[in-house]
Structure formats: structure tokens, C-alpha cells
Amino acid sequence: MSSVHPTSVVSPRAQLGRDVEIGPFCVVEDDVILGDGCRLSSHVVIRAGTRLGRDNTVCEGAILGGRPQHLRAGDAVGRLEIGHGNTIREHATIHVGLTPDQVTSVGDNNLIMVNAHIAHDCHIGNHTILANNVMLAGHISVADRAYLSGAVAVHQFCRIGPYAMVGGQGHIKHDVPPYVTVDGKSSLVVGLNVIGLRRNGFDSEQIRQLKEAYRLIYRSGLSWNLVLEQLSARFTEGPAALYGSFLRGGKRGFIQERRMPRLSALRVADEATLPAEEAARRAS
């Protein structure tokens, strides 16, 4: 039995599963499907053409299925399909596909935090995290278990590989390869997402192979075609095998690596260059 607050407006042409809860001041339009166990807090808007699977939680002020923010958006637009077990926090917005035959999709068990925006025709995998104020333009793909930190902005048609992590306020204009970490300040790759890999059960041998593939891609100095050939020849199975297919599918180029110049070293401050207060503190 579903529960609908008396202040909410739910179209009789919407389909509600079992044990759906709709809080105060929500709007659920025509041609909406809410799967079993979905929870809408207050002031949630679910627009026409939106389908939610089971056990999704949608928090205050979120709008799902909004029209694309695109000059070519006509009267007929696409759909939004959301899987199971997602948490969509306050004031997040997710738009439908641009044309009737196009779909924006969100998989299962994702956490979409406050004020995040997912534009038309994006495809979000499973177990991803989009932190506060993440902005995804149209036609972006975010693969399984990727993590986008606060205020990351991603250019349209970019791909974020699985298990990649992008630091806060990063601006992504090219594809992010699988398994890497992107520094938010420079928006450049700074190595593998080793902590994330270990937390997700990657063993030492798998991480060793990923490091070897990473060095081949970013530090070998080989031509692009030779890099692709060696990836295919040397990594035929396991997580590292994904690099070859991902890199071959790129159309926008790839995020480059941030490295210090060769033979450079971090300077250690000596006592003569320290401020007087700090020098006195150390002396005491």
C-alpha cells in the first residue's frame, strides 16, 4: 500500500509500485513510474517520461525528468530511466534525453549529492558518487564506481572511466581513463586511485599490472599506436585489459599527467629563509 501526503499532486496516470511514500508538496506528472519502495521527501518534482526502479530515495527539492537545457529541445523530448537503490539528495536535477528516441540513464546504488546536475543524454553507471554541485553537461558517460568530488564540471561528450576519482573543482574537458586520480586544482592526472582500488577489493597483483599499464600509457614515450598495440599484447585479461578498449574508444582526447620536471626536487626551507617568528619557535 502506497502513502501519498494530501498536499501532493500525483497524476492518476502515474504508476506507483508497492510501499511507495510521497511526502508533502510533491508533484508526480503523467507517464511516471515509481518502483516498489521509493521514497519522495517534500517538494520533489517527478516529470513526465521518468521511470524509477525499486528503493530509490529522493530528497527535498530534487527535480527528476526536467526538459533539456538545449536550444534544439522541441515539444517532444526523451526519457529518464533510473535503476534501483539510488540516493538523490536535495535540489539535485536530472534531465531527460534531448529527442524522443534518446534516454538519460542512471544505474543502481548511486549517491547523487546536493545540487548536482546531470544533463540530457548522460549515462551514469552503478555505485558512483557525484558530490555536491557536480555539473555534467550533455552526453557524458560516468562508469561504475567513479567518484566526482565537489563542484567538478565535465564538458559534454566526455567519458569518466570506472574507479576514477576527480578532485574538487576539477574542470574536465577530455576523457578520464579508468582507475586514475585527477587533481582538482590542475585538472591533470596524478597517478592511480590506489586507495579506491584497495577499498574495492583489488589485490596486489591487479594493482601491480595497473601500475605497469599506467607507466606504459603516460611515461613510456611511445607513439600512440604503439601504446595501444602493447596494451593489447601485454594485458589480455584482468582489470588492466580495460585500458585498451577504453583508449581506442576516445573521441575527445585524454587527460594528461601532471609531473614535475625530471631531476627536480622539492626545496626544504632553511632557517635563514624562515620568518622570524617561525625561526624563534623552532629554536625554542
Residue 121 annotated to the active site? yes
For the segment 240-258, the average pLDDT, to the nearest whole number, is 95
Give the whole-number percent of the chain exceeding pLDDT 70: 91
14 pLDDT more than 90: yes
Q: Express each pLDDT in 123-179 by its tens digit.
A: 999 999 999 999 999 999 999 999 999 999 999 999 999 999 999 999 999 999 999
pLDDT in tens, 32-55: 999 999 999 999 999 999 999 999
Closest Cα to residue 247, out of 226, 268, 265?
226
What residue ranges define each of the domains in the chain, with the CATH number in brackets?
3-199 (2.160.10.10), 204-248 (no CATH)
Instruction: Reply yes or no on whether 108 is catalytic.
Output: no
Q: Is 91 known to be catalytic? A: no
Identified catalytic residue from 43, 95, 117, 120: 120
- pTM equals 0.90
Helix and strand numbers, DSSP H then E, in the chain: 5, 28
37, 61, 138, 170: the active-site residue: 138
Calculate the alpha carbon distances from 281 to 28, 267, 275, 284 in Å. 64, 21, 10, 5
Instruction: Write down how long the chain is.
Output: 284
